[in-house]
Structure 1
Amino acid sequence: VNPCSGDSGSRDGWDPVGGNLEICCWWCSLMVRDDIDQLVLGAKGRVIALSLDDITRKTSEVTAVVWLAAVTSADKALCQMKGKSTEECDNVIRTLHTMSDGKMLVCGTNAFNPACDHMTFTDGKVSLERKPQEGRGKVPFDPYQRFASLMDGNTLYSATSSNFLGTAMVFQRHGPNPVKTEMKRSWLNASNNSDNGEDDSVFLFFTEAAVEERRGNIQVSRIGRVCKSDLGGKRTLQKRWTSFLKARLDCPFGDAGSQPLVQDVFLLQDQNNWRGSIFYATFTSNSQSAVCAYKLSDISQVFGGRFLTETDSGSWDIYTGGEPFSYPGSCINDEMRAKGVMSSLDLSDTTLVFVKNHPLMDGVVTPITGKPLLVQTLTRFSKIVVDQVTSLDGQQHQIMLIGTGSGPQTGVYKAVRFDGEDGRIIEELQLFQDPQPVDFLQLSSKTGQLYSGTDDAAVQVDLRDCRRYTSCDDCLLARDPYCGWDKSRGQCASVVGVSTTIQSLSDGDIRMCPPSDLKQTPTVVHFAIGIAQFLPCSPENNLPVSWRFSDSVLHAGPRHTVLSQGLIITPSFSDAGLYTCETVETVKGRVHRTTVIQFLVQLQDTRTVVRNLEAAAITLAAFASLLIMLICGALVIRHLAEKKQGRVGSGNENCDMEGCVHHSGMLAQSEL
């Protein structure tokens, strides 16, 4: 849906209220509501509700909601007087959250004076409660500043700026028992854990300058943790987090000396065992991007380890002294309750002072495989969501859907990692006609659709659309957990609810495919020697491409240039023959090759062509001379016949016998 281009059909109330879409987003927040079948979009001064089944339709009887606390001319004037632009002084809806009672929390920047309200969806209509509340610390003042927020039940956690200049970054919990701490840029996610009666935790992913590094201002990735039940201290750390701890987050890739920085995080929860839940995170480092995964049990182990402490010289070393009871930063558990510590208000000042002075852990949180699941060059990963799919053999597979922020191709990568293998990209989805960075990614568990957005458009993608794989070989070699070959219909289709489908995710075994009567017929092309020509090849899957000449693999060389879309050949006489473009997939040491297209190249030397043309011209001239001689001969015979019959012409003939013979001889001599 692009309300600015009219692709969405009816546009009543959809036109942006001034501003430059390249500067201030049209879609500024996005939320999937599976419970009410709505995709909710926050924009400038309004909220739009769309049908999850088809986002090109606005939901019946739902109109754009004009923000209650509309920015007045006085508000805008005051905002601009402080040095902000007209676009910055709009009310940009940055936060949309669902609460436990089904209401939605909506917050906007409101001309650098953040405000919030609650919104309901009743009888097909969106409406505001018209009870504005303070939005400071819930969303940033600046419409363009990055921030993070998380709704847990009816409790909002946020990490954002709390002042006009955007310099005071605060991580806080809002509500009846607010607590906070000063932080850097961050991204939030939550996990529910209940072993040993321990209270649940909230995990914070962020970047900051590494105080423990002796070299300059080095930015590193961190993971922080707080307890949901934290009420702050009674005397020390009043209304401040008493459970906040942080550790370095490692994702080893990129150039030496360059620290990968976390960009986005997605939690895939294990419903049976919270310790088995996994965080998937995107990172960037110079010209590379990667995805790393972290098991919650490994993270908990780091936060139960040793602390770092700052020495008098300013360096950071491992703390070797005694630790107070209870373990600093611990969430309240059964052991603590048995000793009278029922909440953080019961913690001793000794424990709280220790936590305040030792928030940094010695241990490093490392990925579950010891390395990234996926690394890409010349691409900037931004958002990530992960879908869990059950294949035909009953195994569960995690499909990573990765948005890109910049690079040669922006869109969404669909990637998967099978046991014992590196991650691989199954498909590259170009969501928009013009390359644009992906700002939002959300998955609907109900529709199985992926919803994405950029500054000025929202899109809906059916992840189970397998029609791009046109043959059984392509379908099985793609090893796409969503797809399998439907033998009854003879097409690649979603494996959900189909009993006649085959898959081979472990090794891409195309021997499972039914025999095909289709045979590849080469396309005959005629090339001139020494002149560069192009042989196109565009496979319908995302597998790498190889070229074969006769029965040998063709490598790039002076006369052959292999491109992603084909082969450039500057042929010599030895280059005539059969060229085959094929996809190549190596699965567990076995190479699978599938023909995409074949060309039978026939060659001619340019000098031979010229000689042939010259010979053709001479032959044509000789034929013309012979034809003239035959015509003249026919005229002579006719003349003699008429003379014999006494009907000699009156001299109007074009030539006599000698003249014709003489003329014909000159022509023949001239041509020869």
Structure 2
Amino acid sequence: MVQVMMTCLVALLWVLIIVGERAAQGQRPRRSVVFSDVKLKLFKEADFDGLSSLMVGDDVGRLFIGARGKVLALSLDDITIKTNEVKWTVSSADRGVCEMKGRSSEDCENYVRMLHPLDDGRMLACGTNAFSPACSYLTFKGGNLTMETAVQDGRGKVPFDPYQDFASMMDGNTLYSAASSNFLGTDMVFQRHGQNPIKTEAKRSWLNEPTMISINLAKLNQTTENREDDNVFLFFTETAVEERRSDLRLSRVARVCKSDVGGMRTLQRRWTSFLKARLDCPFGDAGSPSLVQDVFFLQDEDNWMESLFYATFTSNPEPSSTCSQSAVCAYKLSDVRQVFRGSFLTESDSGGWVTYAGAEPFIYPGSCINDEMRAGGVVSSLNLSDTTLLFVKHHPLMEGAVAPVTGRPLLVRSATQFSRIVVDKVTSLDGQQHHIMFIGTTAGWLQKGVWLNGEGGRIVEELQLFHDAQPIYFLQLSSRSGQLYGGARAAVVQLSVRDCSRYTSCHDCLLARDPYCGWDLLRGLCAAVGGASDASMVQSLADGDVGSCPNADCKSKIAHMRLFTHVYPSEESSRRISMVFLSSPTGQQPFTAVHLAAGVAQFLPCSPDTNLPVSWSFSGSVLQPGPRLVLLSQGLVVTPSSTDAGLYTCETVEEVKGREHRRTVVRYRVQVHDKSSRIQDVAVIVSAVCAGVGLMFLYRCCRQKVKNHVGCGNRWRDADMGGTEVTGGGGEGGALR
């Protein structure tokens, strides 16, 4: 009976270990920090949901939030402090009309989906208003937030549907939007509003079932030698007209000129400069195009042509796929513009798209006004010939594709859905500038990535922003306060991007190679390098050199651990299974005394506070898998014989620029006892081990399931199912590709 019980318990042990190991497979960011360990501020109220827009007001110290039926103002320094709230609900008449048209009561609310600052200090706010979009103006003055009573038509500025994707940008007091302009959400238009309204032509070759992502402005007029007109870029996905597959969706970037006012006769009040090209981010399976999810424009004020578009992508999965990979690609502004100077595609008589081989009209189609054109008498799009405008009308698609700056993604992760991205610039102690990427996922985790020249990208750490798995729909960074703000449907979080407290030792601080952080020699802690002097801090971003760490950092610290609380009846039994830390010679890592039963598979845990790979050694020799040894990411399964008694050491292994760094996590002084001496006590041992390991792995699996909840589909509605966080890719930190 005892033998049967032992066999069952050992089998349970193996099942739990294998399940836990499979859940932990795949390379990960260097460190994963769960919600309870992240230093953040959380805003959440019982009647607060339907978060639809978010705007950082650095000038007034407020975070403005558009939600269902209201706009809130939170303190930018502490979002748990709500300073103002303005109600903006729908009338009963509008709600009745909306519901009569077949929409649900919930969808017939007013979701404030747009908040933009204006030059006069006011804010433009637009909401869905029971599928009848409306806009108004907000004023924040003297600490009070008020809304004007006058309401404008919001059609084409925000969608009718509270969940449909759209994009908008405010340039001074001029609004650019890419949104549906009809109740069914089928008429998608990219337009500029205001005194000189202008929009896209209603042609399938211009926009074909698009999903709008982002609009960005590149200010070139005052920064280029020939004073070219400023460029406006639209990022979107659409069904490709040039591909044989009728359902194939591709990522696109389109460009128009800021001063475009349409043509005199042809393309009246239509963009005369609208050109589009494929946006490539090569990863995943061949034949599965990647779909852009979000774009952040990082401007280089010294050289605008060196400015970068950072974009998140997910692969386009086949119908049989359960989920997709995600990646981050970066594109140089000069490379994007170069594609719009290339060859055009044209539609053939058979309906296919081929390279245009004829003569291109002068002026080059889609050109933005510059000094050369002005000297020739073309000072406005109204001066363009009908020949040029007709060519643009029928040839909006470029042959070339925009490739990422490195020719490949900066980061790739498997079975993960990236949602939003923001990028910060930080100056390290050596005066170099580095780009830090903050990437949200549909499972509520934030990836903190670094791109170092010559090395590619890597994920320094990932942070769980919400207790429950939910998509991150909004990410904004305050340059004034160094705070990052993230929003889900019913909650907003705030955290400092310069928090270095998770690096608890000098070695950990320097090996993480986090550009925000350095080791403070005077205070003996990892701290933000902003404003620090070279004399008081050390940093090694290039190669993770820990040679400058003080020796005191390497001293052993004795901790205490209690694995089992079961009280055993006999003194001999308690001696056999006791696990306590014993003192070791000065300067050496303390070890744990462990008594194991011969011939019984038992587990020695090793749980570092990072996701680095571990290595086991026995009496100074590196252990290899064998008949009696199974090496796992979270421990070692050993079926010992009498010759296996000795000192077992678990270390993390980190390689930086060809240099290997090892840090001891735990050491076990193992003694092996003959299992025949007290078979009943051994059964108790195995039972205790199974119970302890079982609880540990069940906890890990449950936590992993919350973290790894798979969900693919619409970025607004279906994404609420969550996303998978089982990581993949190659290279250090589980990020390189």
Measured against the shorter chain, the TM-score band is 0.7 to 0.9
Which of 662, 665, 686 in structure 2 is aligned with 1:596? Answer: 665
Which of 532, 539, 547 in structure 1 is aligned with 2:608? Answer: 539
Residues 431-440 or 376-385, more deviating = 431-440
Determine whether 1:437 maps to 2:471.
yes
**Residues 466-501 of structure 1: per-residue CA shift (max 9 Å, x gap):** 111111111111111111111111111111223311
**Residues 335-372 of structure 1: per-residue CA shift (max 9 Å, x gap):** 11111111111111100000011111111100000110
1:422 Cα deviation from its structure 2 partner: 3.0
Distance 2:100 2:633 in 1: 53
**Residues 412-471 of structure 1: per-residue CA shift (max 9 Å, x gap):** 000112222131110111111122211111111011111101111100111111111111
Which of 66, 73, 76 in structure 2 is aligned with 1:49? Answer: 73
Distance 1:358 1:198 in 2: 22
Identify the residue that residue 82 of structure 1 maps to in structure 2. 101
Distance 1:8 1:15 in 2: 17
Distance 2:119 2:110 in 1: 26
TM-score normalised by structure 2 residue count: 0.77
Alignment of 1:269-348 (within 5 A): 269-285=299-315, 286=317, 287-348=324-385
Which of 207, 219, 222 in structure 1 is aligned with 2:237? Answer: 207
Distance 1:445 1:561 in 2: 49
**Residues 507-538 of structure 1: per-residue CA shift (max 9 Å, x gap):** 00111111133342112222334444443333
**Residues 242-287 of structure 1: per-residue CA shift (max 9 Å, x gap):** 1000011111100011111100000110001110000000011142
**Tell me, what secondary structure is at the counterpart of 1:606?**
coil
**Retained in 1: the 8 A contact 2:43–2:79?**
no
Distance 2:420 2:539 in 1: 29
Distance 2:103 2:601 in 1: 56
Identify the residue that residue 57 of structure 2 maps to in structure 1. 33
Distance 1:563 1:454 in 2: 36
Distance 2:41 2:486 in 1: 15
Residues 425-434 or 492-501, more deviating = 492-501
Distance 1:535 1:101 in 2: 66
Distance 2:345 2:486 in 1: 41
Distance change (3 Å), C-alpha of 1:238 and 1:530: farther
Identify the residue that residue 220 of structure 2 maps to in structure 1. 193
1:234 Cα deviation from its structure 2 partner: 1.2
1:563 Cα deviation from its structure 2 partner: 4.8
Identify the residue that residue 156 of structure 1 maps to in structure 2. 175
Distance change (3 Å), C-alpha of 1:279 and 1:163: same
Identify the residue that residue 713 of structure 2 maps to in structure 1. none
Give the paired residue count.
591
Which of 447, 450, 466 in structure 1 is aligned with 2:500? Answer: 466
**What letter matches 1:229 in structure 2?**
S
**Residues 276-321 of structure 1: per-residue CA shift (max 9 Å, x gap):** 0000000111421110000000111110111111111222221121
Distance change (3 Å), C-alpha of 1:576 and 1:163: farther
1:400 Cα deviation from its structure 2 partner: 0.7
1:542 Cα deviation from its structure 2 partner: 4.7
**Retained in 2: the 8 A contact 1:427–1:542?**
no
**Retained in 2: the 8 A contact 1:469–1:541?**
no
Distance 2:630 2:160 in 1: 53
**Retained in 2: the 8 A contact 1:392–1:503?**
yes
Distance 2:165 2:643 in 1: 60
Which of 505, 520, 542 in structure 2 is aligned with 1:506? Answer: 542
1:71 Cα deviation from its structure 2 partner: 1.0
Alignment of 1:420-431 (within 5 A): 420-431=454-465
**Retained in 1: the 8 A contact 2:174–2:194?**
yes
CA RMSD of aligned residues (A): 2.2
Identify the residue that residue 369 of structure 1 maps to in structure 2. 406
Distance change (3 Å), C-alpha of 1:566 and 1:180: farther
**Retained in 2: the 8 A contact 1:9–1:57?**
no
**Retained in 2: the 8 A contact 1:468–1:541?**
no
Distance 1:573 1:255 in 2: 50
Identify the residue that residue 429 of structure 2 maps to in structure 1. 392
Distance 1:563 1:105 in 2: 56
| Highest RCO, 1 vs 2 (Cα 8 Å, sep ≥ 6) | 2
Distance 2:105 2:680 in 1: 73
**Retained in 1: the 8 A contact 2:447–2:461?**
yes
**Residues 82-129 of structure 1: per-residue CA shift (max 9 Å, x gap):** 111111000011111111222111111000000010101100011112
**Retained in 1: the 8 A contact 2:42–2:80?**
yes
**Retained in 2: the 8 A contact 1:474–1:541?**
no
Identify the residue that residue 16 of structure 1 maps to in structure 2. 47
**Retained in 2: the 8 A contact 1:391–1:397?**
yes
**Retained in 2: the 8 A contact 1:484–1:493?**
yes
Distance 2:509 2:43 in 1: 38
Distance change (3 Å), C-alpha of 1:544 and 1:611: closer
**Retained in 2: the 8 A contact 1:8–1:57?**
no
Distance 1:399 1:325 in 2: 43
Which of 392, 416, 422 in structure 1 is aligned with 2:450? Answer: 416
Distance 1:153 1:10 in 2: 30
1:186 Cα deviation from its structure 2 partner: 1.5
Distance change (3 Å), C-alpha of 1:144 and 1:313: same
Distance change (3 Å), C-alpha of 1:301 and 1:383: same
Distance change (3 Å), C-alpha of 1:559 and 1:291: farther
Distance 2:139 2:308 in 1: 33
Bigger radius of gyration? 1
**Retained in 2: the 8 A contact 1:157–1:173?**
yes
Determine whether 1:107 maps to 2:144.
no
Distance change (3 Å), C-alpha of 1:303 and 1:71: same
Identify the residue that residue 702 of structure 2 maps to in structure 1. none
Distance 1:312 1:252 in 2: 32
Distance 2:162 2:680 in 1: 73
**Tell me, what secondary structure is at the counterpart of 1:75?**
helix
Where do 4+ consecutive residues of structure 1 move more than 6 Å?
Answer: 7-11
Identify the residue that residue 477 of structure 1 maps to in structure 2. 511
**Retained in 1: the 8 A contact 2:343–2:356?**
yes
Distance change (3 Å), C-alpha of 1:416 and 1:542: farther
Distance 2:260 2:103 in 1: 38
Distance 1:345 1:295 in 2: 31
Distance change (3 Å), C-alpha of 1:566 and 1:88: farther
For structure 2, the residue ranges without an aligned partner over 5 or more in a row are 1-34, 318-323, 557-587, 683-737
**Retained in 2: the 8 A contact 1:16–1:44?**
no
1:597 Cα deviation from its structure 2 partner: 2.5
Distance 2:405 2:95 in 1: 50
Residues 186-195 or 265-274, more deviating = 186-195
Identify the residue that residue 590 of structure 2 maps to in structure 1. 521
**Residues 121-140 of structure 1: per-residue CA shift (max 9 Å, x gap):** 10001111222111111111
**Residues 397-418 of structure 1: per-residue CA shift (max 9 Å, x gap):** 1111110114xxx410001122
Distance change (3 Å), C-alpha of 1:413 and 1:532: farther
**Retained in 2: the 8 A contact 1:16–1:26?**
no
Distance 1:329 1:76 in 2: 44
For structure 1, the residue ranges without an aligned partner over 5 or more in a row are 18-24, 614-672
